[in-house]
Amino acid sequence: MVKQIIIVRKDIKMGKGKTAAQVAHASLGAYKKAKKLSPKLIAEWESEGEKKVVLKGTLEDLINFKQWADAKKIPSYMVSDAGRTQLAPGTVTTLGIGPEKDEELKETKILKLL
């Protein structure tokens, strides 16, 4: 099974709409990177229904999992807000990881579902 992980910072205040938009940015950003690197894996993910798991974490979690993904060569995308609405410019909000094989993402299971 192939899935995508999105980690949302819960140590900052974002409304539901803002959170949804940031999750979408993270998902698309990671997807675009993965599509360039692994078209076959993307095709498998798409054929399986494009599973996404949204987790909650802190800024430290996002930074640590970004470094982890980079070390494992798993496509990832960190979102920094433009600062036009609820957050200061440059505020890190979400991290998209994958799509990737489920077994490669098991370390993310330490985080709780959003």
Q: What is the pLDDT of residues 71-94, one digit of tens each?
A: 999 999 999 988 888 888 899 999
The reported pTM is 0.94
Beta strands at 112-113 and 2-9: parallel, antiparallel or unpaired: unpaired
pLDDT digits (tens, 9 = 90+) for 8-23: 999 998 999 999 999 9
Calculate what percentage of the chain has a pLDDT beyond 90: 89
Average pLDDT value for the chain: 95
Contact in structure between 94 and 101 (CB atoms under 8 Å): no
20: domain CATH number? 3.40.1490.10
Q: Which domain holds residue 17?
A: 2-113
As for how many domains the chain has, the answer is 1
* pLDDT for position 59: 97
